[in-house]
């Protein structure tokens, strides 16, 4: 199994040490992991950044890669929080970095951190969803320095609504997004945290994953989005089984930003 979305204590919202993440992954039989700690410039629209010392991050990662090389494969990654007004800053930051894998994500919309909930004030649920997807589409059109786009429908996690809107309410923009990702040779992830957040589905949802496959999408990673030891490897085997049942043939891993297609049958 592979876990391509993990946050260590280099991310301020994580309590998971790299050592614990590695040891726990080994204990549950995971063959390859990738640390993807947060980089979010101006995440709140007030000039505050979520970042870390890249050189130190790399030195710590490289030491663990060497220490555990006979027990597990460890890849070097980052999760870049994208917004229209920081695209150049993100491009400049990741340029020429020694990374295997980059997740592109949307954590803020209209310069509002989704977690704060302010985006949802005085607009309908559908309007909030469409703002999210329209901003996502903009960054896909204007930014290419990533491997897969993360938790594609993360908007459904927020807003405190009693229901989750069905795909039909935002299917047109979703199709456009998936088409552009496929055309650009980019992928998506199956992020299992939606189950953990009691949404009853993954990020993105099964219907979006099926749509991606139907449209010819092939690049797909699996990640637990773990921020604590208890969530390392969360739901990965079930997620892989769902992908296999849908008709996916491969799970993707990355080396120096180059995708590798691993037979999904080999995971069972």
Domains and CATH numbers, the chain: 2-267 (3.20.20.140)
Whether pLDDT at 117 is above 80: no
Answer whether 193's CB lies under 8 Å from 3's CB: no
Amino acid 118: pLDDT: 82
Total count of residues recorded for the chain: 268
pLDDT in tens, 210-261: 999 999 999 999 999 999 999 999 999 999 999 999 999 999 999 999 999 9
pLDDT class of 169 with cuts at 50, 70, 90: very high
Structure tokens at 116: 């704060």
Confidence of residue 102 (pLDDT cuts 50, 70, 90): very high
Name the strand (E) or helix (H) holding 182: helix 171-183
CA 165 to CA 170: how far, in whole Å?
8
Q: pLDDT of 1-37, one tens digit each?
A: 999 999 999 999 999 999 999 999 999 999 999 999 9
DSSP state string for 33-63: EEEEEEEETTTTSSS--B---HHHHHHHHHH
């Amino acid at each position: 199994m592979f876990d391509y979305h993990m946050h260590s204590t280099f991310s301020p919202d994580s309590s998971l040490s790299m050592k614990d993440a590695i040891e726990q992954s080994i204990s549950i039989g995971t063959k390859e992991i990738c640390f993807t700690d947060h980089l979010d410039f101006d995440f709140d629209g007030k000039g505050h950044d979520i970042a870390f010392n890249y050189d130190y991050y790399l030195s710590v990662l490289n030491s663990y890669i060497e220490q555990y090389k006979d027990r597990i494969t460890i890849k070097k990654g980052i999760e870049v929080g994208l917004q229209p007004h920081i695209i150049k800053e993100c491009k400049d930051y990741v340029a020429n970095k020694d990374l295997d894998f980059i997740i592109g994500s949307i954590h803020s919309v209209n310069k509002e951190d989704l977690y704060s909930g302010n985006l949802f004030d005085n607009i309908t649920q559908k309007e909030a969803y469409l703002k999210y997807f329209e901003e996502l589409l903009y960054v896909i059109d204007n930014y290419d320095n990533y491997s897969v786009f993360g938790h594609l429908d993360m908007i459904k996690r927020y807003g405190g609504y009693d229901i989750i809107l069905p795909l039909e309410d935002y299917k047109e923009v979703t199709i456009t997004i998936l088409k552009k990702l496929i055309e650009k040779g980019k992928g998506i992830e199956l992020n299992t945290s939606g189950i953990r957040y009691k949404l009853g589905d993954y990020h993105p949802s099964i219907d979006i994953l099926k749509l991606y496959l139907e449209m010819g999408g092939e690049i797909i990673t699996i990640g637990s989005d773990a921020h604590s030891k208890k969530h390392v490897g969360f739901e990965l085997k079930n997620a892989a089984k769902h992908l296999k049942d849908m008709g996916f043939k491969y799970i993707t891993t990355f080396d120096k930003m180059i995708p590798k297609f691993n037979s999904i049958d080999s995971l069972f």
